[in-house]
A and B are shown apart, each in its own frame.
Chain A
């Protein structure tokens, strides 16, 4: 893309709508059939040190995507909130032979960037470069993964900015509501940990804590590197072995005994986050969802497409198109390795809070009361099939899939049997899946808005737990 489109109004037309003209307007629908989309061929290699390597050649542009994933994410934060994310970023703060500014300058000089991150289940490193520069950048990537030096001066500087950023993020309800939701659903169990940590947690980070997290969670046998792009696999394998084959981690491996606590909620409740200068109420409604490798997920996603996964979905149709209450309403499953959530999300002017929540609930209940009909199901099936191939069009998305495959134990059939799986969903089965998977009782509400003005309304949906957005924790 030539220009940054940040300041152009790009309309998010991805939410849902209702069927006013449904019975008068007959669309002759047939099931579309694509040449079944398949994952391109790739090779898997395990080095002697246990490192898993995926290699997929893709030569439409002379670029290579490099994605490394480490089995250890925010759920391993323990008593230091934010340490997983901080450690991931600190990998780039300097290594045995390269300073932080040398790392940044080198990648930028070759037109590239390198990013390191953590999410709930894993940490990762991603970069993409022009194939000619492979051997210029591999030595640096190697050191970032194998020999980070975690210089104290860089760590202290970053801590200060990180803490200020946590305050800044709370200016945008939509960017922090997910952290409040997970905290409310998972409480003090590891999946309740906020990805970017708390100010107290970040403030307590030290070189030792970063070292400790690194030593414990970055190990060859629990790491995968996925390479997708314009290379020859035989040559690339040798190169990977040369740079990463010598990686050892002498530290005794800890066996994780993390378990998710998915005890069902016994009552509905509303977690109300007061933001004094809010003019809108931003809210999520939901509960537990599904885990990452749930065998019914493809079919569940078809059902969610109808509820809140596309522009004509029920939620977007009712809340946006018919009622004009919001710019968008949607629903989704957020899946993790050991647990997951399902939620409806939208926002509205403070004065419309009750109308929007009531309409969201009423629309959601259609799933249970009326269920899915044949024609809507066919449309949704066509939609998800038609939109599927572009999801795996780029080297970045393909390397992302291979990396997640490693972390979550995903099977290639998720892609290769996608169309069969979608086609196999009948109305009866859809309505069965709704009963089994979509939370119906004791829904949990998380809202960010002006508490004084909406407190009484919110009380109608469940026991209210109030908190100020200015408090450090979520």
Chain B
């Protein structure tokens, strides 16, 4: 008895539900670009504001200021003083959050559709007239120091992570942690914050994405009313530093008392949107997505060498790192896990993968795509991310096809090109260094 109707989905009908044509775009006179997606599945909407500034725009002495700035954006402007941004938003049924990466700073507002105009008013006020209250700066410093220490306290990998970035990069600002070094957090000044604001927080350095139960015309007129009068700023200085090629393996050790060692291995790889991007992203899935992935099935389950393994290839404007990480199983040495990971890498380069394995990770990408499409916040975040990192939000809708173009030969070639000994940095965190 097989009564379910099996629909064979073709690539073209995949996106019948929401397509690139559903995203409307317009640009204000101050060059602020706004993307709108109408979707009335729930009576809610969101507004995502992406500023093209992150820790890569910092320099020694003010490391972490992008993230600190993100906090200060909630601490008072002209119409809405200290605490009022959150208080007014929540009283109108809205909630917010924000995140800072090496590349961007994103502000996220989720609200019932009735609050749309209030959100415009709140955002316009802080973009145009952010105020730096000395008392708020000091209490926020304490908050950030707590955020930094609680991250390190609860996650040894975070400690190793910052050391390996500082080792793998010698020139590019990707070398310091997004949260910044403790002494910089303690010492940056109000003047540093003001300079930062005037350099990066202009409408022409911001991308806005709104999705949910809204109407394009209404969004347009509110944008014209609230955002358009804010003057454009000068174009921020380009990050021109290029990390020189790595010419030999680097190693770093971090001492910390832990039940078993933590391991990180990185390789320099190209940025998001580059020719090899889709291949590298699929490589990451082949290695670590799901229990049948190469690293998990071999190192965690079959050989019991690790409690946890993974890979990470994040969005980046500039050439970045491809990470392998792992936590050793009880009584397993870091060197054993390192060798096992490198053996898997070598196997990938020597033998490549088969069509079935490639199809698997393409299917995983398709699932991810649908999951993104299921929520208005997933849509806004992803549309914005594609617009920023790929230069065009439409790339989101062609992503399943773009992944489809990757071949087994691409996988083998790209693994061989980047996963080399001289391009590698290895970091180990353990109670004591292995002899």
Contacts and interface: CB of A to CB of B under 8 A. Distances in A.
B367 interface: yes
Contacts of A112: 367
B370 A383 contact: no
A63 B260 CA distance: 40
B100 A379 contact: no
Given A32-B112, A239-B3, A393 B314 contact: no
B99 A242 contact: no
B301 A60 contact: no
A393 B8 contact: no
Interface string B78-110: 000111101110111111111111000000001
B288 to A, nearest CB: 10
A376 to B, nearest CB: 9
A260 B269 CA distance: 56
A235 interface: yes
Contacts of B146: 324-327, 347-349
Given A108-B291, A386-B115, A389-B44, A20 B101 contact: no
B143 A280 contact: no
A111 B363 CA distance: 5
Interface residues of A, number: 103
Nearest to A395: B374
A474 interface: no
Contacts of A4: 312, 314
Interface in A1-47: 1-14, 17, 19-21, 25, 27, 29, 32-35, 37
A175 interface: yes
Pick from B43, B260, B291 the residue with the most CB of A within 10 Å.
B291
Interface stretch (B151-159, B192-200, B240-248, B345-353): B151-159
Pick from B4, B152, B377, B378 the residue with the most CB of A within 10 Å.
B4
Nearest to A11: B98
A232 B5 contact: yes
Given A321-B83, A323-B142, A387-B110, A279 B71 contact: no
Contact of B378 (A1, A12, A349): A1
Contacts of A6: 312
A270 B114 CA distance: 46
A62 B9 contact: yes
A280 B375 CA distance: 37
A232 B91 CA distance: 41
Q: Which 10 pairs from chain A and chain B are nearest by CB?
A: A386-B93, A324-B142, A111-B367, A111-B363, A379-B91, A324-B139, A108-B290, A164-B330, A104-B291, A386-B112
A394 B42 CA distance: 10
Interface stretch (B28-36, B292-300, B335-343, B407-415): B292-300
Interface in B349-401: 356, 359-360, 363-368, 370-378, 381-382, 385-386, 399
A387 B93 contact: yes
Given A9-B100, A13-B98, A19-B87, 12 more contacts: A2-B368, A14-B95, A21-B83, A61-B371, A104-B291, A104-B297, A113-B290, A160-B330, A168-B259, A386-B115, A393-B42, A394-B374
Pick from B42, B146, B359 the residue with the most CB of A within 10 Å.
B146
Contacts of B300: 161
Interface in B132-175: 138-143, 145-147, 149-150, 152-156, 161
Contacts of B329: 160-161, 164
B224 to A, nearest CB: 25
A269 to B, nearest CB: 25
13 contacts: A7-B314, A8-B101, A9-B101, A12-B97, A37-B42, A61-B17, A61-B374, A63-B370, A108-B360, A128-B367, A171-B258, A326-B146, A393-B41
Contact of B259 (A7, A157, A167, A389): A167
A330 interface: no
Contact of A379 (B42, B87, B258, B259): B87
Contact of A393 (B70, B90, B376): B376
B126 interface: no
A277 interface: yes
Contacts of A2: 315, 368, 372, 382, 385-386, 399
B56 interface: no
A271 to B, nearest CB: 19
A1 B5 contact: no
A390 B290 contact: no
B373 A61 contact: yes
Contacts of B147: 9, 11, 327
A261 interface: no
Contacts of B1: 238, 242
Chain B residues touching A, range: 35 or more
B428 interface: no
Pick from A8, A160, A393 the residue with the most CB of B within 10 Å.
A8
B77 interface: no
Contacts of B44: 386, 389-390
A76 interface: no
Interface of B: 1-9, 17, 41-44, 67, 70-71, 74, 81-84, 86-88, 90-101, 110-112, 114-115, 138-143, 145-147, 149-150, 152-156, 161, 178-179, 256-260, 289-293, 297, 300-301, 304, 307, 312-315, 327, 329-330, 356, 359-360, 363-368, 370-378, 381-382, 385-386, 399
Interface string A160-174: 110111011011111
A9 B307 CA distance: 24
B83 A17 contact: yes
Contact of B373 (A5, A60, A101, A325): A60
A382 B375 CA distance: 22
A126 interface: no
A239 B4 contact: yes
A115 B149 CA distance: 32
A19 B28 CA distance: 37
A459 B178 CA distance: 39
Interface in A132-176: 132, 134-135, 157, 160-161, 163-165, 167-168, 170-175
Contacts of A173: 153-154
A236 interface: yes
Contacts of B7: 131-132
B93 A280 contact: no
Contacts of B154: 171-175
A390 B375 contact: yes
Contacts of A107: 290, 292
Given A1-B371, A132-B8, A164-B259, A109 B356 contact: yes
B149 A280 contact: yes
B99 A8 contact: yes
A320 B150 CA distance: 14
Contacts of A11: 70-71, 97-100, 147
B67 to A, nearest CB: 6
Given A172-B154, A312-B86, A382-B93, A393 B161 contact: no
A232 B4 CA distance: 8
A393 B88 CA distance: 25
Given A277-B257, A393-B376, A109 B91 contact: no
A398 B8 CA distance: 26
A97 B391 CA distance: 48
A278 interface: yes
Contacts of B114: 32-34
Nearest to A59: B17
Contact of B150 (A17, A280, A387): A280
Given A1-B382, A6-B312, A238-B3, A13 B142 contact: no
A163 to B, nearest CB: 7
A184 interface: no
Contacts of B149: 279-280, 349
A394 B376 CA distance: 10
Contacts of B150: 174, 280, 327, 347
B312 A312 contact: no
